[in-house]
A and B are shown apart, each in its own frame.
Chain A
Amino acid sequence: MSEEYENNKSSYQAQSSETISGDGASSAPDMDYVRPAEIGEQDLYHGHSFITKWIFCQDAKVIGVQYFLTAVFTGIVGLILSWLMRLQLGFPELAGFMTAEHYYQFVTMHGMIMVVYFLTALFLGGFGNYLIPLMVGARDMVFPYVNMISFWMFFIAVAVLMASFFVPGGPTGSGWTLYPPQAILEGTPGSGAGILLMLISLSLFVIGFTMGGLNYLITVLQARTRGMTLMRMPLTVWGIFTATVLAMLAFPALLVSSIMMTLDKVLGTSFFMPTILKAGEVLEYGGGSPILFQHLFWFFGHPEVYIVALPAFGIVSDLISVHSRKNIFGYRMMVWAIVGIGALSFFVWAHHMYVSGMNPWFGFFFATTTLIIAVPTAMKVYNWILTLWRGNIRMNTVMLWCLGFIVTFVNGGITGIFLGNVTVDVPLSDTYFVIAHFHMVMGIAPLMVIMGAVYHWFPLVAGRMLDEKLGKWHFWITFLGAYSIYFPMHYLGFIGVPRRYFEMYDSPYMTSAVGMNEFISLAAFIVGAAQFILIYNIIKTLKVGKPAGKNPWKANSLEWHTSTVPPEHGNFGDRLPVVHRWAYDYSVPGANDDFIPQTTPPSEVINTEVEKT
C-alpha cells in the first residue's frame, strides 16, 4: 500500500483540503454551513471491458441489479413450485404425476427459495446495493471488491441449490425448517445429496451475505455525505441498515446449525440426533437434541422475518411519503420503531416453538415479548395511514401497491397476534392458519412493497417510465388474487386442516374444504401468471417507454439528484451533494414547489416554514 499511497499522497491531500475548504471558500451564507468532510473521497476502480463493467463488476448499482435478477430467477422457480403444489391440493386428479416425495420437495424448495434466496437477497442485495450509496450520498459501497465477491458467492449458492434438483434422490423434502432428525434420515425425500447441497448452499449464502452486509453497514456508518446525519436518512436506508444488523447477528446461527447438521449427516456426529429406532434397528446416534436445532434455527428464523420486513417498512414509508406529497408522519418514531422491532426480534424466536415440546414455561416469556413487538409495529401502521391523511395522494401504481401493502400487512399482523399469544397458538399451530398468516405478512405484504419499489425506482434504473395501465392491471390482479388465496385459507386452519399434508380429503370434516382448495388453487394460478405482466411491461418499456427525465416523481432524496439518469459509476459527477435537510420536506408552507430536495440549502427557501431537521 505504501508505494501506491506515496504516489497518490498529493492527490489525496488535495482532495481532502478541497472538501474541507468546500463551502468555506464559497460565498454561501452562514445558515447554509455544513460541517466539512473528515475524510477524503474514495477512489473507484472504473471497469473498462465488458466483463469488468457488467459481470465481475464493482459498481454497487450493477451488483444490485445482478442480485435483483438472480433473486427474481429463483423467485420464478419458487412460483412454479407453488403452482405444482396448488395443483396437487386443488386438483389432485390432474396431478397424477406427482408423488408425495415430489410434493414435499416442492414445499421445501418453495419455502427456502422464497424466504432466503428471493426475499432476503432481493431486499438487501438488490435494493440495498442499489439504493444505499445513492441515498446516503456516497460514490459506491466502501468495499467494492468485497461487494462483487458477495454477489458471486450468492450466485454460487443459488447454483448449488438448483443443482440439488438434478442429483439422485432430488432436493431435500424436509420442509424449509429442515428439522432433524427427519431431515437427514431415510423416509424424508432427498435425505442424501439433497439435504447436503441445501446445507452447503445455505452456508455459502451466509458467507456471501456477510461480505455484502459489512459493506451496507460501513457504508451507512462511514460514507454518508456531508450533512447526511443519521436522523436525516431516508427510512429506506434505516430499514435496510437495521435489517443488515439483524442479519449479521442472526445468520451465524443458521451457519453453525448447517455445519452441525452436515457433520451429523456426513461424519455421524450427534449434535441433533438422539437414540433412534428405525425399521427395527437402533441407529448409531445418541445424546443429541432435536430441540437444540429448532432453537438455533428460529434464533435465525425469527429475525429473518424482520430482515425481510424492515426494508419493506422503510421502503414503503418513503413511497407513501413521496406519493402523498407529505412528510412521513412521526419520522423519529418510525426510526425508533424500526430499531426497537429489530432489537426485540431477538427475544421472540421460541414463539415458533410453543408446541415443540420445549419447556412449556417458556411460553409465558415468549408470548409476552412477542406481543410487545405488536406495539411499535402498530405505531408504524398508524404513521403510514396518518401520512396519507391530509396529504395529496397520487393514485398511481406505486401508491396502489402501498395501499395493498397496508391492507395485507395489517391483516397478517393481526393474525400474528393470534399466533403469538401462546394459548391461541395451540389449536392453530401447524395448521393452514399459519400458512395463511405468514404468506400474508411476509410473503404478500413485502411483495407489494417490492412491486411498488420496482414501479417507483425503475425510471431511475432504466431512465424510462413503466406503463401505468399495465401496472394497474398487474396490481389489481395480484392484490385481489393474493387476498382471495390467503384470506379464506385462515378458515381451513380453524377447521383444523394440518399443513404439509400431501392430500387430506378422506377426513370427514375436511371434505367441506375441497371447494375452497379448488378456488384457492385457481386464484394462485392467476396471480402467478399475472406476474408476467410486469415482465412484459419491463420489456416493452425498455423498448418504447416514455423517457423519465430527472426526478419524475418530484422526490427529495439524493438518488433522484444524480448527475445523470440513470446514475453513472460514481453516482454524483464531480462533486458529492451536500445535505441540508431530511428527505421529507414535501408541501412545506411558503415553498414554491411541493417538494424541497435534501440538497437545497436553507438560504434558497428562506420564506418557508420548514422545521429544522
Chain B
Amino acid sequence: MHAGFIFLAVIVGSVLFHIFTPWYWTDIASNWGAMDDTITLTFWVGGGVFVAVCLFMVYCVFKFSYKEGRKVEYKPEDKKLEKILTWATTIGVVALLAPGLVVWNQYVNVPKNAIEIDVMAWQWGWQYRLPGKDGKLGNTKIVNINEDNPFGIILEDPNGNDDVLIQSDVINLKTNRPVKILLRSVDVLHNWYVPQFRAKMDAIPGVITYYWFEPNKTGEYEVLCAEYCGVGHYAMRGGVNVQSEEDYEKWLQEQETFSDLIAKQKKLELETEKLAKKINLNIE
C-alpha cells in the first residue's frame, strides 16, 4: 500500500510548502493589489480542487487496490452525476473569470490624470521622456533618431519642444499619481517590468503600447526586461525611483527639455564655427 502513502505525502507536502514557503511575491508597491487578490482567489479555488481530486484519487488507491474476485461496479454512465459536476465546475470557473475581467477592465482603462511617460527600449537599454508643461508628448519617428535627437522627436511637432528628456535608465516617479507607460522599441521586442508594480506590457517596434499603474511606496526599484530580446536580455536592467511630490518636482526641475538640448547644440555649433573661424584667421 506504500504507493498511496507516497501520493498522499506529495499532496500534503504541496500544501505545506505553500503555507510555509519563504518564496512568495515581493511587497507590492502599486495600486494593483487587485491582481494579488485574484491570484489569492484562484489559489483557494484551484488549490481546493487540486487537493480534492488528488485526495479522492488516493482514497481510491487505498480502497480499491486489486483483490482477486473484487466486485467491480459496471455503470458506463451516470448522467446526473456528470451534470452536477459540469455545473459545479462552470460555476467555479465563472467565479474565477468574473473578477479577473473586472480587474482587466481597470487595467485597459487609464485614469484621466495619469502622467504619460515615453519609455523607449533598444538592445539593450532604456531611456525615458516626460511631457513638458503642456502635458503632451511630441510625436516621434524612428528614422529621426540620431545623436542630436535621441528620442526621434518630430521637429515640426510643437508638443515636442518642452518634452523632458531623461537619458538615463532610471526614471523618477511621484507617489500616488497614476502613470501611463507608453512603450516603444526601436529594434526588437522588450518588456518594461517592475515586479513590485505587478504590471507589464511588451514594447514593439513600429507600435506604441501602453499600460498604467500608480506607484504608492517611495523607494528604488529595479526594472527588468521581461520579453526575450537577444543575448543581452538578462542584463537589460533599468531603475525606478519613486519619490514624494516635493523630491520629484525638485528632480524634474533639474532635467533637460528638448528645446534645452536644441539650444545647447546650437550653442555648441556656434562655438565650433567661431573656433573654426578663429583658427582660419590665425592661419591666414
**A188 contacts B230, CB within 8 Å?**
yes
Q: Is A430 in contact with B226, judged by CB distance below 8 angstroms?
A: yes
| The residue from A421, A428, A429, A613 contacting B76, defined by CB atoms under 8 A apart | A613
- With beta carbons under 8 angstroms apart, the residue of B122, B207, B228 that contacts A291 is B207
Q: Mark B198-223, 1 if CB is under 8 A from A, else 0.
A: 11111111110100000000000010
Q: Could you give, for residues 433-461 of chain A, a 1 whenever the CB lies within 8 Å of some chain B CB and a 0 otherwise?
A: 00000000000000000000000000000
Structural contact, A390 and B64, CB atoms closer than 8 A: yes
**Interface contact B101-A422, CB-CB below 8 Å:** yes
Question: Which residues of A are found within 8 Å of B201, using beta-carbon distances?
Answer: 355, 357
Closest to B46 in A: A414
B132: Cβ under 8 A from any A Cβ: no
Complex interface: chain A residues within 8 A of B281 (CB):
none
Give the docked Cα–Cα distance between A382 and B224 (Å): 41
Q: How far is the CB of B8 from chain A (nearest CB, A)?
A: 11
Residue among B67, B72, B105 with the highest chain A CB neighbour number at 10 A? B72
Q: Is A175 an interface residue (CB 8 A)?
A: yes
Alpha-carbon distance A175/B61, docked complex (angstroms): 41
Contact of A363 among B24, B77, B93, B108 (CB under 8 A): B108
Chain B residues whose CB sits within 8 angstroms of the CB of A611 once the complex forms: 74, 76
Interface membership of chain B positions 218-246, coded 1 if the CB is closer than 8 angstroms to chain A and 0 otherwise: 00001011111111111001000000000
| Segment from A71-79, A147-155, A200-208, A321-329 that makes contact with B | A321-329
Q: How far does the Cβ of A480 sit from chain B's closest Cβ, in whole Å?
A: 7
When C-beta atoms are compared, the residue in chain B nearest to A356 turns out to be B202
Answer yes or no: B280 CB below 8 A from chain A CBs: no
The answer to whether the Cβ of B6 comes within 8 Å of any Cβ in the partner chain is yes
Interface stretch, picked from A13-21, A404-412, A529-537, is A404-412
Give min CB distance, A102 to chain B, whole Å: 10
A297 proximal to B (CB < 8 A): no
Is the pair B143, A403 in contact by a Cβ cutoff of 8 Å?
no
A282-B142, A364-B104, A480-B10 are contacts. A501–B234 as well, Cβ < 8 Å? yes
Asked if B39 is an interface residue, CB under 8 A from chain A, the answer is yes
A residues near B39, Cβ cutoff 8 Å: 418, 424, 427-428
Which stretch (B47-55, B153-161, B269-277) binds chain A? B47-55
Q: Is the CB of B72 within 8 A of A391?
A: yes
Q: Which residues of A contact B222 (CB under 8 A)?
A: 507-508
Q: Which residue of B lies closest to A417 (CB)?
A: B46
B188 and A422: CB pair below 8 A? no
> Bound state CA distance, A304 and B196, in angstroms?
34
Residue pair A491, B107 in contact (C-beta under 8 Å): no
What is the CA–CA distance of A496 and B200 in the complex, to the nearest angstrom?
11
Contact B56 A392 (CB under 8 A): no
B residues less than 8 Å from A426 (CB atoms): 32, 35, 107, 198-200
- Report the minimum CB–CB distance from A469 to chain B (whole Å): 14
- Bound Cα distance A364, B101 (Å): 6
Among B142, B196, B228, point to the contact of A277 (Cβ < 8 A): B142
The interface size bin for chain B is: 35 or more
In the complex, the answer to whether B26 meets A496 with C-beta atoms within 8 Å is: yes
Q: Flag the segment in A23-31, A212-220, A309-317, A580-588 that touches B.
A: A580-588
Do residues B86 and A100 form an inter-chain contact, with CB atoms below 8 A? Answer: no
Q: Are B104 and A422 in contact (CB under 8 A)?
A: yes
Question: B93: which of A372, A393, A491 is its contact (CB, 8 Å)?
Answer: A372
Report the minimal beta-carbon distance from B107 to chain A, rounded to whole angstroms: 7
Which of B97, B122, B198 gathers the greatest number of chain A CB atoms within 10 Å?
A: B97
Complex Cα distance, B73 from A325, in Å, reads 10
Instruction: Choose among B22, B82, B100, B122 the residue that contacts A424 (Cβ–Cβ < 8 A).
Output: B100
Across the interface, do B60 and A185 meet the contact criterion of CB distance under 8 Å?
no
B34-84 interface with A by 8 A CB criterion: 34-36, 38-39, 42, 46-47, 49-50, 53-54, 56-57, 60-61, 64-67, 70-78, 81-82
* With known contacts A188-B230, A331-B77, A609-B74, A278–B187 Cβ distance under 8 A: yes
A422 to B35, CA, bound (A): 10
Q: Mark B89-128, 1 if CB is under 8 A from A, else 0.
A: 1100100110111011101100000000000001100000
Contact B23 A494 (CB under 8 A): yes
- CB within 8 Å of A: which B17-33 residues: 17, 21-26, 32
Q: Of A188, A393, A613, which one neighbours B64 at CB under 8 angstroms?
A: A393
From residue A324, how far is it (CB to closest CB) to chain B in Å?
Answer: 8
A357 interface neighbour in B56, B103, B204, B234, Cβ under 8 Å: B204
A101–B81 Cα distance when bound, in Å, is 54
Chain A residues contacting B186 (CB-CB under 8 Å) are 276-278
Is B65 in contact with A393, judged by CB distance below 8 angstroms?
Answer: yes
Contact A498–B224 (Cβ < 8 Å): yes
B100 A100 Cβ-Cβ under 8 A? no
Cα(A498)–Cα(B34), bound, Å: 21
A179 to B21, CA, bound (A): 35
- Residue of chain B at shortest CB distance from A382: B85
> Residues of A contacting B258 with CB < 8 Å?
none
Which A residues are in CB contact (< 8 Å) with B172?
A: none
Contact of B90 among A188, A324, A361, A375 (CB under 8 A): A375
**Taking the nearest CB of chain B, how far is it from the CB of A598, in angstroms?**
15
From A123-131, A245-253, A509-517, A544-552, give the one contacting chain B.
A509-517
Question: Given contacts A427-B198, A491-B21, A594-B72, is CB(A395)–CB(B90) below 8 Å?
Answer: no
Question: Which chain A residues lie closer than 8 Å to B75 at the CB level?
Answer: 327, 329
Using Cβ atoms and an 8 Å threshold, which residues of chain B touch A428?
39
How distant is the Cα of A609 from the Cα of B100 in the complex, in angstroms?
49
Decide: A516 near B23, CB < 8 A? Known: A182-B228, A188-B230, A588-B74. Answer: yes
Q: Are B108 and A179 in contact (CB under 8 A)?
A: no
Contact A424 B145 (CB under 8 A): no
Known contacts A374-B89, A382-B85, A491-B21: does B60 contact A393 (CB below 8 Å)? yes
Q: How far is the CB of A36 from chain B (nearest CB, A)?
A: 28
Contact A277 B209 (CB under 8 A): no
CB distance from B222 to the nearest CB of A (A): 6
User: What 1/0 flags go to A319-353 for Cβ under 8 Å of B?
Assistant: 00000111101111100000000000000000000
Q: Which residues of A contact B226 (CB under 8 A)?
A: 429-431, 498
Q: Find chain A residues with CB under 8 A from B71 CB.
A: 587
Q: Given A179-B228, A417-B46, are A488 and B205 neighbors across the interface (CB < 8 Å)?
A: no
Chain A CB within 8 A of B183 CB: yes
Return chain B residues, CB-CB under 8 Å to A391.
60, 64, 72-73
A513 to B82, CA, bound (A): 43
A426–B34 Cα distance when bound, in Å, is: 12
- A187 and B26 contact, CB distance less than 8 A: no
Q: Give the shortest distance, in Å, between A332 (CB) and chain B (any CB).
A: 7
Confirm or deny: B164 has a beta carbon within 8 angstroms of a beta carbon on chain A.
no
Report chain B residues within 8 Å CB of A407: 7, 10-11, 54, 57
A379 touches B89 (CB 8 A): yes
A390 to B61, CA, bound (A): 10
A487 touches B14 (CB 8 A): yes
Query: Can you list 11 A-B pairs with a CB-CB distance of less than 8 A?
Result: A182-B229, A274-B204, A291-B207, A357-B202, A379-B85, A386-B81, A391-B73, A392-B72, A395-B65, A498-B193, A507-B237
Q: A356-B204, A388-B61 are in contact. List 4 more A-B contacts (CB 8 A).
A: A330-B76, A423-B99, A491-B23, A492-B23
Q: Nearest 6 CB-CB pairs, A to B?
A: A496-B195, A274-B206, A587-B72, A357-B209, A414-B46, A182-B188
